[in-house]
Amino acid sequence: MIEPLPDQSPGRGEIPIEAVVFDTFGTVCDFYHPMKHAFEAMARRMDVECDAGRMAIEWRTAYVVSTFTQAVNESEFKPLRDINRDNLVDVLEKHFPCSLTGSEISTLNGIWEKLDPWPDAVAGLHAIKKLAIIAPLSNGNFADMVRLSRYGSLPWDIILGSSISGFYKPHPQTYLKSVEALNLRPEQVCMVAAHQADLAYAAGHGMQTAFVTRPDEFGGPVKPQNPEAGVRYMDMAEIYPEGAWTYLAKDFLDLAGQMQKDHFPH
């Protein structure tokens, strides 16, 4: 099991931020609605019914479990496209009332490269890019991120993350190798995510952190402010801070404004 280390982030404003790196699936891009719509479209074409929203959430949850397991076990690196396809086959077998061809499955699997950015994302990324290097620090591989970036007009300077390290988050090397690739120290880099576990791991390596809320990430359900012990909330959006993050922001434009003030206070 990989547990986050104690928070080692510097205080806000103590060290200038030279690069801002982003979780992508759910933080930069909306996975739920594009996946739900893709399942709905397939069901209409085949004249059947399915719970498309549930399928989208289960597919995304399987992705989280699969990549986390690879990181914890330090098992052989498997391309994310293959991981997602295997998980998709399982979801279809459980929840879709008829069989799909290999080509139809591949078409559905391609939705990971065609996720819509959240409404503020592209403008916010451009604003943050004026202040620092920007890059995804994602479980998406180089191929996934290039295609997703082109689809969504995401203005990255470089692509970092799983392909850099050969491991998926939260393996330490995924964070550290990404920082190293920029010839920076962890404290000079800010990790942005809508998922606070990601921020906890980044903070444990000394990175600065920004929690950006995506209330509609799962189509509406929100993790309560006072969660019950032992209850799993993987399929609920996080909107309440659970750590002393460097920044708290409602979206990327809000984050850009806060960083702008820190960089150029006058």
Q: What is the DSSP string of 66-130?
A: HHHHHHHHTPPP--HHHHHHHHHHHHHHHH-SS---HHHHHHHHGGGGSPEEPTTHHHHHHHHHT
Over residues 137-155, the mean pLDDT reads 97
- Domains contained in the chain, number: 2
| 25 and 47 in a common domain | no
Question: Do 100 and 61 fall into the same domain?
Answer: yes
Predicted confidence (pLDDT) at residue 225 exceeds the cutoff of 70: yes
Residues 136 and 109 in one domain: no
One domain for residues 45 and 151: no
The CATH number that applies at residue 191 is: 3.40.50.1000
Please report the pLDDT score of residue 229 as a whole number: 87
User: What is the pLDDT, as a whole number, of residue 264?
Assistant: 62
The answer to whether position 216 is within a domain reads: yes
pLDDT grade, residue 91 (50/70/90)?
very high
Residues 35-53: tens digit of each pLDDT: 999 999 999 999 999 999 9
Asked if the bond preceding 170 is cis, omega within 30° of 0, the reply is: yes
pLDDT at 112: 98
Mean pLDDT of 72-78: 95
80 and 55 in a single domain? The answer is yes
Average pLDDT, the chain: 96
Q: Which structural domain range is residue 194 located in?
A: 19-30+115-263
Q: Is the pLDDT of residue 162 over 80?
A: yes
Measure the CA–CA gap between 168 and 165, rounded to whole angstroms.
Answer: 8
- % pLDDT > 90, the chain: 94
Domain boundary (113, 139, 165) is at 113
Give the confidence band of 245 by pLDDT, cuts at 50, 70, 90: very high
User: What is the predicted pLDDT for the residue at 55?
Assistant: 97
Domain assignment of residue 159, yes or no: yes
- Any domain includes 9: no
Centre a 10 Å sphere on the Cβ of residue 188 and count the other Cβ atoms it contains. Answer: 20
Residue 177 has pLDDT above 70, yes or no: yes
- Do 92 and 60 fall within a single domain? yes
**184 pLDDT higher than 80:** yes
Length, in residues, of the chain: 266
pLDDT of residue 230: 86
CA atoms within 13 A on the CB side of 265: 3
Flag whether pLDDT at 238 surpasses 70: yes
Match 């799962």 to its residue by tokens: 218
Q: What is the mean pLDDT of residues 121-136?
A: 98
Query: Residue 3 falls within a domain, yes or no?
Result: no
The mean pLDDT of 63-81, rounded to a whole number, is 96
pLDDT at 265 (0 to 100): 58
Is 12 a member of any domain?
Answer: no
The CATH number given to whatever domain includes residue 77 is: 1.10.150.240
CB contact set of 197 (below 8 Å; sequence gap of 6+) = 4, 170
Residue 56 lies in a domain: yes
Token duo for residue 232: 């799993």
Cα–Cα dist 185/140, whole Å: 23
- For residues 95 and 216, membership in a common domain is answered with no
Q: Is residue 4 part of a domain?
A: no
Cα–Cα distance measured from residue 209 to residue 175, given in angstroms and rounded to the nearest whole number: 12
Which of the four pLDDT bands, split at 50, 70 and 90, describes residue 196? very high
Same domain, yes or no: 160 and 85: no
Answer with the one of 89, 113, 137 that is the final residue of a domain: 113
Does residue 187 fall inside a structural domain?
yes
Q: Are residues 183 and 201 in the same domain?
A: yes
Same domain, 52 and 167: no
Instruction: Indicate whether 36 and 75 sit together in one domain.
Output: yes
Of the three residues 79, 113, 147, the one that is the final residue of a domain is: 113
Specify whether 128 is located in the same domain as 220.
yes
Range 34-63 burial, b when 16+ CB lie within 10 A, else e:
bbbebbbebbeeeeeebebbbbbbbbbbbb
